[in-house]
Amino acid sequence: MLRIGGRGGGGIPPVTIVGGAGTPHPCHDLMSFTRSISPAFLCTLRAEVWVSGVCDPYQPLEEKYRLTRQCLEILAQHNWPVIIQTRSPLVLRDIDIIGAARDFEVGLSITTADDAVRKLFEPDAPPIEDRIAALDTLHRAGIRTYAMIAPVLPGAEGLAELLKGKIDYVIIDRINYHYADWVYRKYGLEDKLSDDYYYWVRQELAAL
């Protein structure tokens, strides 16, 4: 089992590799893991890889450097199951790899249906319409898709209609930090931080 998640020292996600007997692999962090990895290791170990829950794999520089694409090529070559999570329609560039892979799925983070709200909380992220269109393209291509509605932002209830027929499942979670509370206060959105609003949105999205 390969488990990658959370934050280790210096922001490096801890990696735990456990063999059949439950003995930890000597690589205890991501750096030592990547230094010691070998083609033989890739061939013998097969575990789910999440690309990526900590940092978006399709940042603007990816268009030039194609590092995520290279990683996906290697993972697909060795038949590793992959869950991609991004905010960027740039993921469509790699639809050839994703569609041909044995066990790849793609999710777009979409936290509201209202692009005006997106501009308040995610001013540099791609427009909501473009993300939904990307999901539609991927889904029509026969690729398993999901929406990550986390955190639920004001206007998220409108996603029920927009996502219909474009995803296989949805992940929903509330805002679990307070760094953006000032935005809610500044624009009179405090009621959207309430438990009532969150559970109402979950109910609206339940059909997805």
Please state the pTM of the whole predicted model. 0.80
Do 105 and 150 belong together in one domain? Answer: yes
* pLDDT value for 1: 31
Q: How many CA atoms lie within 13 A of 57 on its CB side?
A: 24
Q: 15 and 64: one domain?
A: no
**154 and 194 fall within a common domain:** yes
Domain extent, residue 167, equals 49-205
Q: HSE-up of 40 (CA within 13 Å, CB side)?
A: 1
**pLDDT averaged over 10-residue windows placed end to end, the chain, 208 residues:** 34 38 44 54 73 91 96 93 97 98 97 98 97 98 97 96 96 90 96 95 90
Q: How many CA atoms lie within 13 A of 86 on its CB side?
A: 25
Residue 176: predicted pLDDT:
85
Contacts of 188 (CB under 8 A, 6+ apart): none
Residues 92 and 150 grouped into a single domain? yes
Residue 38 is predicted with a pLDDT of: 60
Do 13 and 64 belong to one domain? no
Q: Based on the fold, state whether residues 55 and 103 are members of the same structural domain.
A: yes
Alpha carbons 118 and 136: distance in angstroms, whole number? 20
Question: Which pLDDT score, from 0 to 100, does residue 53 have?
Answer: 79
How many structural domains compose the chain?
A: 2
On whether both 89 and 16 belong to a single domain, the answer is no
pLDDT, residue 39, reads: 59
Residue 15 shares a structural domain with residue 107 = no
98 and 23, same structural domain? no
Does residue 13 share a domain with residue 24?
yes
Residue 25: the pLDDT is 44
User: Domain check: are 198 and 154 in the same one?
Assistant: yes
